[in-house]
């Protein structure tokens, strides 16, 4: 069994905003609040990055139209004692998805992390 860092992308809708920075702040705050209410304060929440189609440079994943914003959030969670990357992904989506109901989630990256020495086997 191994430990994994799983990065998820979430699509967060923010209504009645005029500024990208406000939309990002509201999205991060609301997501953090919902995770904390479900005792998931160990999930890291940050704004995601999208590559510019012209130059490839990353910029904040947020778009505003008609005072409504779609913000792409990056959520990171450490999964312990998973059987593999697929298992870690399913655990992460279950943990985060349970707290953020009705929020679309995609697994972006799964990285195996160093665990404690397993000398007890």
Encoding tokens for residue 90?
Answer: 């399913």
**pLDDT tens readout for residues 36-47:** 999 999 999 999
Residues whose CB falls within 8 Å of the CB of residue 12, separated by 6 or more in sequence, listed in order: 27, 30, 31, 70, 71, 72, 73, 103
**pLDDT tens readout for residues 49-60:** 988 888 888 889
Chunked into runs of 10 residues, the chain (121 residues) has average pLDDT values of 95 95 96 95 94 87 95 96 95 94 94 66 44
CB 92 within 8 A of CB 82: no
Encoding tokens for residue 13?
Answer: 């809708």
């Amino acid at each position: 069994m191994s430990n994994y860092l799983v990065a998820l992308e979430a699509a967060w809708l923010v209504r009645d905003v005029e500024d990208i920075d406000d939309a990002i702040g509201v999205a991060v705050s609301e997501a953090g609040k919902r995770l904390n209410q479900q005792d998931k304060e160990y999930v890291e929440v940050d704004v995601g990055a999208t590559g510019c189609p012209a130059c490839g440079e990353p910029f904040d994943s947020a778009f505003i139209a008609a005072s409504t914003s779609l913000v792409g959030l990056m959520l990171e969670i450490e999964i312990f004692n998973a059987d593999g990357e697929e298992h870690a992904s399913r655990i992460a989506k279950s943990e985060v998805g349970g707290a953020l109901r009705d929020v679309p989630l995609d697994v972006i990256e799964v990285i195996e992390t160093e665990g404690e020495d397993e000398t007890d086997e």
